[in-house]
Amino acid sequence: MDGGRRARVILVRMRCNGPESGLRVYRGRYASADEVPEVELDMGPLPTHGDWWDLPLPPCPDCGGAITWFEAQYVPGTRKCTRCGSMFSVEIRHRMERSVLRKVNFDAGGQAVYRVPETSHWADWADPDVIAVHGVLVARRTC
């Protein structure tokens, strides 16, 4: 239905001391990022319902053990393998998508500009009602 455009939930190996750090916790010890395998497990699309949601965590990619929440004294989103001690984090990634601006003229006067996904044909976004439902309002002028 969404064509794979929805944000995805990804399990990655935790970056210790910030995103630029070269350290990772691998099997219970600090190790250089060059020494450990990268982890990027797609856990599926971000749920669209509710403010809170629960996705089952996959088995540990290092040993197959259970991964559990481990946020106390760590960055929110931290997860840890209960068997080997490897640490991971959960990230939300949005698929980059090109967009274009579309202007809508209202019957009662005025205009609005919406950002919509770019498609191969202009007629895909010719219906003002579809634009208003699926586009992102950028500007509105009434007169």
Mean pLDDT of 68-95: 84
Rounded to two decimals, the pTM is 0.59
Residue 90 CA, chain-centre distance (Å), reads 10
Least confident of 15-19, 126-130, 133-137: 15-19
Q: So what's the pLDDT on residue 36?
A: 92
Please give the C-alpha separations between residue 109 and each of 49, 104, 125, 129, 143, in angstroms, as whole numbers. Answer: 36, 10, 20, 16, 6
Give Rg (Cα) of the chain: 22
- DSSP code per residue over 103-124: EEE-TTS-EEEEEEE--S-GGG
Nearest 10 degrees: CA dihedral of 94, 96, 101, 107? -30
pLDDT computed for residue 65 by the predictor: 96
DSSP β-bridge partners for residue 13: 88
> Could you write out the three-class secondary structure of 8-77?
EEEEEECCCCCCCCCEEEECCEEEEHHHCCCCEEEEEECCCCCCCCCCCCCCCCCCCCCEEECCCCCCCC
The residue ranges of every structural domain in the chain are 8-93, 99-141
Percent of the chain exceeding pLDDT 70 equals 86
Residue 66 CA to residue 11 CA, distance in Å, equals 13
User: What distance in Å separates the CA atoms of residue 104 and residue 75, rounded to the nearest whole number?
Assistant: 44
The model's pLDDT over 34-78, given as tens digits with 9 standing for 90+, comes to 899 999 898 888 777 766 777 889 999 999 999 998 876 667 778
Strands 40-45 and 29-32, by their bridges, are unpaired
Q: Residue 101's closest CA among 109, 93, 111?
A: 111
Please give the pLDDT value at position 124: 74
Q: Please report the pLDDT score of residue 129 as a whole number.
A: 82
**pLDDT tens digit string along 9-42?**
889 998 887 666 788 889 989 998 889 999 989 8
pLDDT of residue 106: 83
pLDDT of amino acid 2? 47
- Please tell me the predicted confidence (pLDDT) of residue 3: 46
